[in-house]
């Protein structure tokens, strides 16, 4: 029997690496005036020659993310999210500006950095397609120089947390999308990375699979204090996983702040949908802070917008109840997605 | 290098799952072996029993070894890496903590080991039973042959990798692959032994890495080239492996610098 103390979780670091205190204490992510241009060749109208054109995908993005933060990086298609991720992971050279990831320069230190970050591309696979899922973890464990014991301990945790046990011995090509994505997340987390970059991790998944994945990502973050950087089109991902949201539009940061204050900052109203017992074509008299958006179904359905900060739902209902009998009602929270759309449309806060 | 060992073993296992493809490959290789052998026999027969230093038995050995090495050397080229570049999956490879070339080389060795056993041995057995094989006189030929084979696989891998890496700059590499494979099949001595070439073509062939891919391992394994002479050929193989490794590395470096990973 050996008397070595066995760490419950493998450490993400590579023992052979000399890590300066600077690297240890640096922020997880630091982007400064980051820019990336692409040169595209497009046929100019009326000309047979194709013109070279510079397209700016990322335009002076500055962002600082401390270790342990969970940040949702959202924006419309073409806003520059994927380009930013490629620069963060070191597979794309910035045109100008600087990137530091865990204190390192991603392009020259790409392979070094690969030992400290875990990346999930929702659209791509890092698993071995024709082999049982388990084999991919053996190979990845060897690549990350995990000891057999560390690999076994970590894999046990991932198998339990992501519920992989049922298909660990099945070839990857036979897995359903939901199973494969769980497998992909496990692959990215196998070496216990300090920074986890998720590029649309829940794309194409059903609600149950999404929830399972999000729950485990939260658990793992709570256990290890991981930094999470997430791009997504699914605002549910951001709401369930992140405490900070960064919205990009046209390659620039359009909003950066706590998720909690995001809606209030935009002054975004909540919406109350009422179905009245009897049709009423005239608008209800409403207190300050509320207004009728629409009257539908020949006076049966009234849509009322009100601001959550100024007015409570019971107060509003009391006022309405005095005027008409309410048969049914529903309350919708503003979807973050709509808010992002409003930011993208130029309706910037502040 | 435990990671590379695992990757090679994984590639071996992965290929062993393609049973139908393996069976079909063995069948095709063997049929074409018979076709090629009969053409060679006709030529040698017309020439009076020997042609350019090849007797009937040596020609048969040349054909069957060629058919056996076809699959492990992947003489018809691969498209995996170029497709990964075009589809952007190369990003996944680049984000592994292991050098990309060595990763693919490990995969290639695992794959080649399987193909050598599964696709290489059957045509040789058929050949030995039907036409007979000329076995080397010197036992050292087997050892040098194995070394030469490993180097041939390495040289072929590196050249094929360079064709694939052209995908960093070309939108479509299929044309390049076709031209490369046609050139390779001729100049490597796969179609006919290079010593049958006219002098000018022989000179061209010898100035390229292609004979190091097929002619050299066949000659060394069959003992047609005695061990002392084979050492020189192996030296040439080592030289080409070094040159191509450097070139492929430079291409990969330049490619990743100009890389604009395609798709989302």
- H/E stretch holding A65 reads strand A50-65
pLDDT score for A6: 40
> What residue of A is the nearest CA neighbor of B87?
A124
For B4, the enclosing helix (H) or strand (E) is: helix B2-16
Beta-bridged to residue A32, according to DSSP, are: A98
Is A118 within 8 Å of A184 (Cβ atoms)? no
Domain that holds residue B243: 2-257
Mean pLDDT of all residues belonging to chain B: 92
Q: Do A123 and B91 touch (CB under 8 A)?
A: no
In a domain? residue A302? yes
In a domain, residue B226? The reply is: yes
Between the two ends of chain A, the Cα-to-Cα distance in Å is 63
pLDDT at A288 (0 to 100) = 78
Cβ–Cβ gap A144/B97 under 8 Å: yes
Any domain includes B262: no
Q: Can you tell me the ipTM of this complex?
A: 0.85
**DSSP class per residue in B55-119:** EHHHHHHHHHHHHHHHHHHTTT---HHHHHHHHTTHHHHHTSSS-HHHHHHHHHHHHHHHHIIII
State how far residue A177 is from chain B, nearest Cα, in angstroms.
18
Residues 176-215 of A with CB under 8 A from B: 199-200
Does residue A205 sit within a domain? yes
CA distance B232 to B225: 10
Average pLDDT over residues B243-260: 88
Distance CA B211, CA B220 (A): 12
Residue A2 domain-assigned (yes or no):
no
More confident residue, A332 or B214: B214
A142 at the B interface (CB within 8 A)? yes
Q: Is the pLDDT of residue B4 over 50?
A: yes
Q: What is the maximum alpha-carbon separation in chain B?
A: 64
**A246 with A306, same domain?**
no
pLDDT top residue among B91 and A2 = B91
Q: Contact B2/A125, CB-based, under 8 Å? A: no
Q: Which 3 state secondary structure label does DSSP give A192?
A: coil
Contact by Cβ (8 Å): A273, A301: yes
Q: Which residue is closest to B103 within chain A, CA to CA?
A: A143
- Closest to B64 in 3D by CA, of B130, B127, B146, B142: B127
DSSP code of residue A77 = T
Does residue B207 belong to any structural domain of this protein? yes
pLDDT of residue A16: 42
Q: What is the pLDDT of residue A11?
A: 43
Judging contacts by C-beta atoms under 8 Å, the chain B residues touching residue A144 are 97
CB A277 within 8 A of CB A326: yes
A170 touches chain B (CB under 8 A): no
Tell me the nearest-neighbour CA distance from A8 into chain B, angstroms.
23
With the C-alpha atoms ordered A222, A237, A159, A140, is the resulting torsion angle positive or negative?
Answer: negative
Judge if A122 and A249 occupy the same domain: yes
Cβ-contact B143, B79 below 8 angstroms: no
pLDDT for A145 equals: 93
Residue A28 located in a structural domain: yes
- CA B8, B12, B17, B19: dihedral to nearest 10 degrees? 150
Same domain, yes or no, for A86 and A132? yes
The structure tokens listed for A327 are 């048969």
User: The domain spanning residue A103 has which CATH number?
Assistant: 3.40.50.300
Owning domain of residue A50: 22-263
Residue matched to tokens 């696709």: B119
Split into its structural domains, chain A has a count of 2
d(CA A189, CA A192): 5
Burial class from Cβ neighbours inside 10 Å (0-12, 13-18, 19+) for residue A191 reads buried
Task: Note whether A243 and A287 are same-domain residues.
Answer: no
Which tokens is A7 given?
Answer: 């760490």
Let me know if residue B88 belongs to a domain.
yes
**pLDDT the model gives residue A22:** 58
Phi, psi values for residue A126, rounded to 5°: -110, 15
Same domain, A192 and A54: yes
Max CA separation in chain A (angstroms) = 83
The answer to whether position B263 is within a domain reads no
Identify the pLDDT of residue A3.
43
Residues of chain B whose beta carbon is less than 8 angstroms from a beta carbon of chain A are 2-3, 5-7, 10, 13-14, 17-18, 88-89, 91-92, 94-99, 256-257, 259-261, 263-264
Q: Is residue A76 part of a domain?
A: yes
Neighbours of A277 (CB within 10 A): 11
Please count the structural domains in chain B.
1
Q: Say if B264 falls within a structural domain.
A: no
pLDDT tens for chain A, 350 residues long, are 344 444 444 444 444 444 454 566 789 999 999 999 887 777 766 666 777 788 888 888 999 999 999 999 988 777 888 889 999 999 888 989 999 999 999 988 999 999 999 999 888 899 998 899 999 999 999 999 999 999 999 999 999 999 999 999 999 999 998 899 999 999 999 999 999 999 988 887 888 888 888 999 999 999 999 999 998 877 788 888 999 999 888 888 888 988 877 766 666 677 888 888 888 888 888 887 788 888 888 888 888 888 766 677 888 888 888 888 888 888 876 666 676 777 766 544 43
Percent of chain A with pLDDT over 70: 84
Using alpha carbons, list the distances in angstroms from residue B22 to A254, B25, B35, B115, B130: 56, 5, 20, 8, 22
Mean local confidence (pLDDT), B127-138: 90
In a domain, A221, yes or no: yes
What pairing do the DSSP bridges indicate for beta strands A117-121 and A290-296?
Answer: unpaired
Helices marked H in chain A: 21-25, 81-89, 110-114, 133-143, 148-162, 177-189, 207-224, 235-241, 259-265, 313-321, 336-344
Tens-digit pLDDT profile for residues B43-57:
999 988 888 889 999
**Would you say B25 and B70 are in contact if contact means Cβ atoms under 8 Å apart?**
no
């Amino acid at each position: 029997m050996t008397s070595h103390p066995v760490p419950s979780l493998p450490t993400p670091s590579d023992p052979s690496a000399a890590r300066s205190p600077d690297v240890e204490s640096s922020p997880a992510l630091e982007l400064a005036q980051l820019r990336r241009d692409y040169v595209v060749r497009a046929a100019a109208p009326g000309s047979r020659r194709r013109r070279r054109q510079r397209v700016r995908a990322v335009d002076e993005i500055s962002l600082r993310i401390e270790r342990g933060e969970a940040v949702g990086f959202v924006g419309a298609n073409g806003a520059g999210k994927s380009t930013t991720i490629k620069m963060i992971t070191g597979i794309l050279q910035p045109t100008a500006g600087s990137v530091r990831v865990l204190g390192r320069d991603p392009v020259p230190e790409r392979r070094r950095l690969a030992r400290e970050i875990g990346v999930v591309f929702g659209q791509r696979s890092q698993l071995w397609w024709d082999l049982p899922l388990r084999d991919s973890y053996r190979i990845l464990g060897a690549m990350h120089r995990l000891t057999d014991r560390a690999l076994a301990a970590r894999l046990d945790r991932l198998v339990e947390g992501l519920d992989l046990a049922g298909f660990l011995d099945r070839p990857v090509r036979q897995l359903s999308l939901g199973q494969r994505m769980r497998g992909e997340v496990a692959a990215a987390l196998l070496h216990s990375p300090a920074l986890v970059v998720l590029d649309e991790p829940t794309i194409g998944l059903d609600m149950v699979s999404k929830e399972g994945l999000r729950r485990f990502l939260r658990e793992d973050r709570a256990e290890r204090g991981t930094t999470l950087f997430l791009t997504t089109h699914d605002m549910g991902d951001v709401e369930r996983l992140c405490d900070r949201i960064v919205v990009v539009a046209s390659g620039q940061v359009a909003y950066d702040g706590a998720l909690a204050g995001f809606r209030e900052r935009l002054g975004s109203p909540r919406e109350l949908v009422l179905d009245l017992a009897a049709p009423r074509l005239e608008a209800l008299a409403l207190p300050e802070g509320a207004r009728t958006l629409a009257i539908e179904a020949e006076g049966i359905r009234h849509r009322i917008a009100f601001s959550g900060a100024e007015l409570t739902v019971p107060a509003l209902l009391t006022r309405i109840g005095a005027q008409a009998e309410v048969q049914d009602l529903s309350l919708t929270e503003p979807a973050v997605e709509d808010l992002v759309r409003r930011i993208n449309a130029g309706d910037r806060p502040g | 290098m435990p990671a590379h060992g695992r990757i090679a073993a994984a590639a071996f296992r992965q290929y062993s799952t393609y049973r139908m493809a393996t069976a079909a490959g063995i069948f095709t290789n063997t049929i074409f072996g018979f076709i090629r052998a009969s053409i060679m026999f006709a030529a040698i027969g017309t020439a009076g029993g020997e042609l350019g230093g090849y007797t009937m038995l040596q020609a048969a050995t040349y054909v069957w070894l060629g058919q056996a090495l076809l699959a492990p050397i992947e003489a018809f080229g691969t498209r995996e890496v170029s497709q990964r570049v075009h589809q952007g999956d190369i990003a996944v490879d680049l984000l592994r903590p292991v050098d990309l070339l060595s990763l693919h080389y490990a995969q290639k060795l695992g794959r080649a080991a399987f193909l050598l056993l599964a696709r290489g041995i059957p045509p040789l057995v058929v050949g030995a039973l039907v036409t007979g094989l000329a076995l080397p006189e010197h036992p050292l030929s087997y050892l040098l042959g194995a070394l030469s084979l490993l180097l041939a696989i390495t040289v072929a891998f590196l050249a094929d990798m360079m064709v694939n890496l052209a995908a960093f700059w070309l939108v479509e590499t299929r044309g390049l692959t076709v031209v490369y494979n046609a050139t390779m099949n001729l100049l490597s001595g796969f179609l006919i032994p290079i010593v049958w070439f006219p002098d000018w073509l022989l000179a061209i062939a010898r100035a390229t890495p292609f004979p190091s891919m097929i002619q050299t391992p066949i000659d060394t394994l069959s003992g047609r080239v005695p061990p002392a002479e084979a050492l020189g050929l192996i030296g040439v193989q080592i030289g080409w492996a070094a040159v191509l490794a450097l070139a492929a590395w430079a291409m990969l470096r330049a490619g990743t610098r100009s890389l604009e990973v395609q798709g989302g």
